[in-house]
């Protein structure tokens, strides 16, 4: 009977150990969504355009015309001055700085980011939004197409 328990222990240990070795972790740059929590819970993903990310390996991506990429994205609709949260789909990194700006008619307006929360512009219209993440693993720029109603 003792040998049966020992055999069961060895088999269970082998399964547990092999599961640990086969597990793969994703250290790629995080996806980012904007979450509108004032009216109803809705999230929208932004496009990553410029990446210099180094975790388990180096990830780089350079986009020459980030505004063309932004215009191709789904239009995100928000109210004037609406508060929005930046949500990282995975966050196995430390944020050093998160900044944002919008572009309307070639006029750049910086947005004050408090932690991971900011307010949309007060003026109605169509904007391109750009988020810049500086983290301990590198930098990523995200873009989107925004309509302020």
The predicted pLDDT at position 74 comes to 92
Which tokens in the block code for residue 134?
Answer: 């500086």
CA 123, 125, 127, 131 torsion-angle sign: positive
The predicted model gives 69-84 an average pLDDT of 92
- List, for residues 95-121, the tens digit of each pLDDT value: 999 999 999 999 999 999 999 999 999
Give the integer Cα–Cα distance in Å for 127 and 107.
10
Q: What is the pTM of this model?
A: 0.79
Q: What is the DSSP string of 48-105?
A: EEEEEEESSSEEEE--S-HHHHHHHSPEEEE-TT-EEEEEES---S-EEEEEEEEEET
- What phi and psi, each to the nearest 5 degrees, are found at residue 73? -75, 160
* 40 pLDDT tier (thresholds 50, 70, 90): low
Give pLDDT, residue 2.
Answer: 63
Q: Please report how many Cα atoms fall inside a 13 Å half-sphere around the Cα of residue 50, on the Cβ side.
A: 13
């Amino acid at each position: 009977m003792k040998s049966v328990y020992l055999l069961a222990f060895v088999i269970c240990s082998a399964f547990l150990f092999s599961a640990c070795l086969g597990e793969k972790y994703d250290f790629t740059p995080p996806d980012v969504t904007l979450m509108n929590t004032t009216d109803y819970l809705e999230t929208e993903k932004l496009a990553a355009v410029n990446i210099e990310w180094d975790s388990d390996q180096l990830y780089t991506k350079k986009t020459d015309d980030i505004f063309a990429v932004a215009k191709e994205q789904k239009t995100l609709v928000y109210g004037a001055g609406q508060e929005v949260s930046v949500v990282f789909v995975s966050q196995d990194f430390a944020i050093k700085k998160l900044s944002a700006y919008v572009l309307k008619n070639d006029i750049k307006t910086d947005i004050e980011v408090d932690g991971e929360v900011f307010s949309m512009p007060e003026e109605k219209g169509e904007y391109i939004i750009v988020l810049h993440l500086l983290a301990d693993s590198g930098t990523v720029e995200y873009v989107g197409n925004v309509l302020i109603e």
